[in-house]
Amino acid sequence: MKIALQRIDDGFNMEAVDEGGHKVLMDSSLENGGKNNGVRPMQMVIMGLGGCSAIDVMMILKKQRQDVQDFRIEIEAEREKGKEPSLWETAHLVFHLKGNIDPDKAARAVELSMNKYCSVAETLRQGHTKLTWEVKLNA
């Protein structure tokens, strides 16, 4: 994998581009001297957790022929206080699924993703992040 980063202003605003040409803007907060023109790098880690798990869950449910009509994840995460570097301490994911979906299959798909398949989840776990989750169907 190759990622290229290019500074795009006189502050901390960066554009990251992957091998496929996909772009993401990153910046620091106003409090830290940035202009808040992009996602902060540590936020991207949590976004990656959601994206990684979402792909896993959808692949598993598709193989099980579950009719997923809508899907979203909400994530709340907390970082360590008063430390440098400040790692992720906790992340709680709420998986919202709508459709004709067996509740046991949905719960199992999420468990498999979070405990077995999602590389981002395992990366965070290796950094001692406490990961928790819940599944809400048709709510």
Q: Are strands 88-100 and 130-137 parallel, antiparallel or unpaired?
A: parallel
Q: Is the pTM of the predicted complex or chain greater than 0.85?
A: yes
Task: Give me the pLDDT at residue 60, please.
Answer: 98
Fold exhibited by the domain 41-137: GMP Synthetase; Chain A, domain 3 (3.30.300)
Instruction: Write 37-46 long-range contacts (CB < 8 A, 24+).
Output: 37/9, 37/13, 38/13, 38/14, 42/79, 42/86, 42/88, 45/88, 45/120, 45/124, 46/75, 46/77, 46/88, 46/91
What number of residues does the chain have?
139
Q: How far apart are CA 127 and CA 6, in angstroms?
A: 28
pLDDT score at 131:
98
- Residue-wise pLDDT tens digits, 5-15: 999 998 899 99
* CB contact set of 44 (below 8 Å; sequence gap of 6+): 24, 26
Q: How far apart are CA 88 and CA 30, in angstroms?
A: 21
- Domain extent listing, the chain: 1-38, 41-137
Can you read off the two tokens belonging to residue 8?
């795009």
Q: Note the pLDDT tens digit of each residue in 98-134.
A: 999 999 999 999 999 999 999 999 999 999 999 999 9
Task: Report pLDDT for 139.
Answer: 85
Distances, alpha carbon 11 to alpha carbons 7, 28, 58, 86, 117, in Å = 8, 9, 39, 22, 37
Give me the mean pLDDT over the 36-59 stretch.
97
> What percentage of residues in the chain have a pLDDT greater than 70?
100
